[in-house]
């Protein structure tokens, strides 16, 4: 019994103590490590200095993990009061990745048992007293975003740090620099007020891409004390400013919340930049590249010692988009001219005036490829990438017109641009034929007295028999209300799901799915009647509406909208929704608080639609096969041509365009305040070069208007479509 008790109380051997020490190191429990040091080591370094040294080194090399294994010979028997054991440590760092170090640890026997004899070599084997561990990040070029012809839309450039040398400043240097940089004077003064600042030291204020710095170089260097310094880093540059800003998005410094453990393991560090919105965010894994780094020892005399680890930087992947820079420019110019000034609206916010909110989509109708996407008001991604003040950010977030929100991907009330789909469902269900006439179509109509004081109202149109073709030409709400009632809610809703309404849109950016009605479906005849002409609770994004219109050009098949010519290497195929975390509105940067525009629905989009069927047509991939019958698509196609060609058609102003043959449908969707409230004005259709017969552009314009316009005033969406077609001509084949 005495021998057994003596065995149970035996003190841990040196190998056990070393394992305890390494276990504490893996947990970063520096106090527990220090407690296992021998007396001489504790005399040489205090616990605070010991912990601080480990902490600073491990933060500097961006340690993300550590594992260690002690190597004990099979015949190991400690003899005397001192032993040496070897161990292997595998470091995991965000800076250089994983690397392995081999160590020799000396343990000594003291009165309380075995203890670790500590030297700096237990941090890294080649580290000596007086040496320092140095770490350097090697920046990786972020992949460029290119248009379909290879022209850059977003790219990395060498960075230039712009700042001040306090001892060379004039009294007004800070104010003048702030003005050139476009920031608040207080932001410059805050940087100059840091405790380390001295008269002879350069104080960086902003980091700009080389192109931007060179463009402003003359103005900058005219300010006393300004210095422009080269940097090892790169900076994101959007050479066309606000052009396609909502689609491209922007990058910014990674926040503490974004720097999750998972991202640290993937190689992100606290000084990295990350995609915040748009494609920059959705394609982050492909674009970001992998930064490199090196860790080395600097000797006490300042010379370089051994290199501990190195990883070369790996550039991100360049991605080619379907966007056409020329079409994008023409679309945005058309919007700007229509709104009155660069996206801000010149008419104020009174009745019938444009308030600067708009969206536009242009597809290649043969393939579904997106040639242009635009949203208004806009923003300059260069300003956001550079870093804006809290006040500037708040102003963007508080703007009721939601300048950060991608309205082309937001679900809006479509108004009469929805009528062709009601017509298609009714034709396919046999409820109407092209020559169906429901009888007289008064300017206000109700089914019967059970509707009380509610009436369907239509705009005035010429007298005469109203069949399907004329109902589309004149945009007769009464006709489509009757068609919807004849269908009934169940067939109406079922038919529209064939076009993709109610499903996620397969797209690389999050798109708010369109809907026929809210939860619970259509409630009652009045809602059914209103829904049939694009009011009620019907909502659809401009992008999805454009995709749905491809059915009329492809014998009833809906093409999948595509924004990428390249397939992302991240495993996310082109044409599949990605990059939108749950709870984030489509086109909205995470955490902005920016609200959707009036009449828009916000929601997440992160998965491919269930039940979608994909096939191949000569012109491109199909999203929804057989949404309408081929003969039905032909009837609608012919009717939409008459909307423009007929002198009484609502889009007849497009008939006089030189060089183009246009088909399409107008719409006015009331979203607030009844007859005099805010509304979206729409045009959806396609254009063929004169004499070709082949549509080259499929376009959707939506422009927000405060109140009803004066009678006879043009639909601003039609005006924008005309301006686009006047400004852009397709290249010769």
- Contacts of residue 329, Cβ cutoff 8 Å, sequence gap at least 6: 240, 243
Q: Tell me the three state secondary structure of residue 479.
A: helix
Among 165, 547, 581, which residue's Cα sits nearest to residue 368?
Answer: 547
The Cα 665–Cα 667 span in angstroms is 7
Length of the chain: 733
The model's pTM is 0.83
The Cα 33–Cα 53 span in angstroms is 13
Element (H, E) at 68: strand 63-71
Q: What is the pLDDT of residue 341?
A: 45
Please state, in angstroms and as integers, the Cα–Cα distance from residue 164 to each residue in 186, 385, 389, 435, following that order.
14, 21, 19, 77
- Which neighbouring-strand residues pair with 392? none
* Peptide bond just before 14 cis, omega within 30 deg: no
DSSP type of residue 674:
G
Give 188's Cβ-side CA count (13 Å radius).
23
End-to-end CA, the chain: 100
Q: Are 91 and 67 in contact (CB under 8 A)?
A: no
Give me the DSSP letters along 377-437. Answer: S---HHHHHH---HHHHHHHHH-TT-TTS-GGGSEE--GGGGHHHHHHHHHHTTS--TT--
The Cα 415–Cα 702 span in angstroms is 11
Q: What value, to the nearest 5°, has the Cα angle with vertex 626 and ends 470 and 506?
A: 105
Element (H, E) at 308: strand 304-311
Element (H, E) at 65: strand 63-71
Q: Tell me, rounded to whole angstroms, the distance of Cα 721 from its chain centroid.
A: 27
Element (H, E) at 277: strand 273-277
Give 56's Cβ-side CA count (13 Å radius).
9
Give me the DSSP letters along 489-555. Answer: HHHHHHHHHTTTTTS----SS--PPPBSSSTT---SHHHHHHHHTT-TT-BB-HHHHHHHHGGGTTT
The Cα 156–Cα 141 span in angstroms is 6
The three state secondary structure string of 542-557 is HHHHHHHHHHHCCCCC
Q: What is the pLDDT of residue 459?
A: 86
Give 509's Cβ-side CA count (13 Å radius).
33
Among 643, 508, 480, which residue's Cα sits nearest to residue 568?
Answer: 508
| Residue ranges of the chain with per-residue pLDDT less than 50 | 1-8, 341-350, 571-586, 589-595, 602-619, 732-733
Q: Tell me the three state secondary structure of residue 93.
A: strand
Among 445, 619, 418, 627, which residue's Cα sits nearest to residue 534?
Answer: 418
The Cα 473–Cα 415 span in angstroms is 15
């Amino acid at each position: 019994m005495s021998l057994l008790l003596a065995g149970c109380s035996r003190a841990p051997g040196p190998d056990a103590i070393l394992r305890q020490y390494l276990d504490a190191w893996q947990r970063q429990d520096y106090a527990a490590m220090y407690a296992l040091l021998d007396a001489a080591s504790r005399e040489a370094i205090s616990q605070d200095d010991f912990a601080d040294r480990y902490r600073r080194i491990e933060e500097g090399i961006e340690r993300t993990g550590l594992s260690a294994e002690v190597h004990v010979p099979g015949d190991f028997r400690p003899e005397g009061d001192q032993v040496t054991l070897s161990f292997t440590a595998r470091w995991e760092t965000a800076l250089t990745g994983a690397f392995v170090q081999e160590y020799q640890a000396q343990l000594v026997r003291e009165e309380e048992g075995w203890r670790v004899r500590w030297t700096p070599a237990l941090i890294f084997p080649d580290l000596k007293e007086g040496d320092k561990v140095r770490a350097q990040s090697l920046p990786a070029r972020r992949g460029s975003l290119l248009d379909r012809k290879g022209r850059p839309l977003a790219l990395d450039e060498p960075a230039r740090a712009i700042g001040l040398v306090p001892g060379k400043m004039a009294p007004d240097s800070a104010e003048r620099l702030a003005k050139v940089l476009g920031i608040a004077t207080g932001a410059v003064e805050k940087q100059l007020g840091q405790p380390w600042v001295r008269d002879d030291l350069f104080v960086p204020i902003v980091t700009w891409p080389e192109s931007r710095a060179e463009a402003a170089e003359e103005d900058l260097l005219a300010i006393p004390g300004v210095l422009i310094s080269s940097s090892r880093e790169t900076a994101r540059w959007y050479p066309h400013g606000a052009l396609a800003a909502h689609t491209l998005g922007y990058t910014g410094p990674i926040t503490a919340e974004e720097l999750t453990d998972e991202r640290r393991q993937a190689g992100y560090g606290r000084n990295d930049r990350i995609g915040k919105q748009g494609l920059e965010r959705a394609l982050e894994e492909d674009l970001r590249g992998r930064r490199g780094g090196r860790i080395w020892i600097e000797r006490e005399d300042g010379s370089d010692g051994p290199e501990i680890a190195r990883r070369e930087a790996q550039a991100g992947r360049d991605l080619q988009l379907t966007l056409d820079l020329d079409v994008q420019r023409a679309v945005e110019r058309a919007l700007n001219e229509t709104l009155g000034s660069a996206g801000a609206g010149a008419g104020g916010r009174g009745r019938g005036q444009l308030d600067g909110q708009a969206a536009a989509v242009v597809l290649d109708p043969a393939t579904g490829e997106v040639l242009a996407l635009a949203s208004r008001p806009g923003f300059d991604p260069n300003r956001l990438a550079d870093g804006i003040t809290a006040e500037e950010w708040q102003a963007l977030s508080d703007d009721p017109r939601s300048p950060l929100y991608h309205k082309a991907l937001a679900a809006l009330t479509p108004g009469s641009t929805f009528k062709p789909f009601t017509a298609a469902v009714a034709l396919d269900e046999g409820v109407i034929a092209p020559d169906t006439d429901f009888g007289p179509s008064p300017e206000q109509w109700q089914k019967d007295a059970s509707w009380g004081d509610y009436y369907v109202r239509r705009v005035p149109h010429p007298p005469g028999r109203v069949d399907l073709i004329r109902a589309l030409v004149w945009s007769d709400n009464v006709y489509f209300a009757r068609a919807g009632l004849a269908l009934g809610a169940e067939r109406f809703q079922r038919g529209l799901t064939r076009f993709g309404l109610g499903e996620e849109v397969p797209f690389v950016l999050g798109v708010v799915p369109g809907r026929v009605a809210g939860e619970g479906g259509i409630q009652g005849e009045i809602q059914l009647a209103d829904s049939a002409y694009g009011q009620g609770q019907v909502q659809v994004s401009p992008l999805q509406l454009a995709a749905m219109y491809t059915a009329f050009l492809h014998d009833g098949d809906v093409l999948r909208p595509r924004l990428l010519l390249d397939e992302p290497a991240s495993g996310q195929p082109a044409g599949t929704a990605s990059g939108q975390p749950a709870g984030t509105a489509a086109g909205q940067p995470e955490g902005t608080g920016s609200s959707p525009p009036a009449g828009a629905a916000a929601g997440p989009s992160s998965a491919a639609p269930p039940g979608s069927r994909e096939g191949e047509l000569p012109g491109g991939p199909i999203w929804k096969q057989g949404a309408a019958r081929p003969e039905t698509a032909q009837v609608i196609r012919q009717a939409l041509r008459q909307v423009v060609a007929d002198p009484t058609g609502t889009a007849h102003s497009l008939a006089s365009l030189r060089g183009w043959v246009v088909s399409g449908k107008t719409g006015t969707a009331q979203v607030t305040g009844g007859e005099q409230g805010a509304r979206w004005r729409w045009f959806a259709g396609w254009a063929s070069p004169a004499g070709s017969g082949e549509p080259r552009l499929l376009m959707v314009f939506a422009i927000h208007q405060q109140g009803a316009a004066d009678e006879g005033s043009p639909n601003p969406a039609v005006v924008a479509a005309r301006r686009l077609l006047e400004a852009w001509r397709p290249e010769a084949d």
